[in-house]
Amino acid sequence: MTSTASDYAWITHSQWFGRCDQDGYSLTLVHGRDPQQVLEAIGAVPQGFGDGFDDLLDCHEELLEYVDDYQDGSFAVAAATVPGTGGDWTLLLALDSGVGISGHLPALSAGGVTVTHDSNAGKPMQYFTHYLDGELITTFEEPAWAQGSDPGALEPLLREVGYDESGKQAAFFALAERLTGVRIADETVRDAEFLLGVVADEDTD
């Protein structure tokens, strides 16, 4: 794949991505597990099927009505099958303020691969994280601060996709495609057939 940040310019006018960016999100691509297995691996309580991003948003908003403690870390997720390198991958989108999925990534990547990019709500902190078979390869907000077993592993690809601080999120989409072969268009998430779930805050479960 030769994707670059310019291939993801659509995120600047995408309604669903705009909402994700507003509320905080994690977008993870998982190889080695189907959507049902992904939801089971993160302990999600099934919420049925969803037809597009709007159904995930409804699930998210219903959860917010139920949870009256702003410190509660419960969050809504949606998982769908997408094609990529080596066969099918699972796209996992979480409306979790960019923090909820992180603790599940070692287990979720066991026997496979996860590639995640996320952003918290409020003052943006945007991270990219790559796990392989339960091992953190690299995670960073800025490449110079990367951590993991091979923190500089993605620096050549970052340069190729056109990374710069002002266009970080588009570059992260392109970087994820380089690693997974999964091309995400606006309609990929907007119109996806999802399995929905809710992950309870471990402190309140």
Query: What's the number of domains the chain is made of?
Result: 1
Would 205 be classed as within a structural domain? no
Which amino acid is located at 35 in the chain?
P
Nearest to 130 by CA among 157, 111, 106: 106
Each of the 205 residues of the chain gets a pLDDT tens digit; together they read 689 999 999 999 999 999 999 989 999 999 999 999 999 999 999 999 999 999 999 999 998 887 655 556 789 999 999 999 999 999 999 998 878 899 999 999 999 999 999 998 777 789 999 999 999 999 999 999 999 999 999 999 999 999 987 679 999 999 999 999 999 999 999 999 999 999 987 654 4
- Using alpha carbons, list the distances in angstroms from residue 62 to 55, 75, 96, 108: 11, 11, 14, 26
Structural domain for 29, as ranges: 5-199
Would 84 be classed as within a structural domain? yes
Query: The whole model's pTM is what?
Result: 0.94
Would 204 be classed as within a structural domain? no
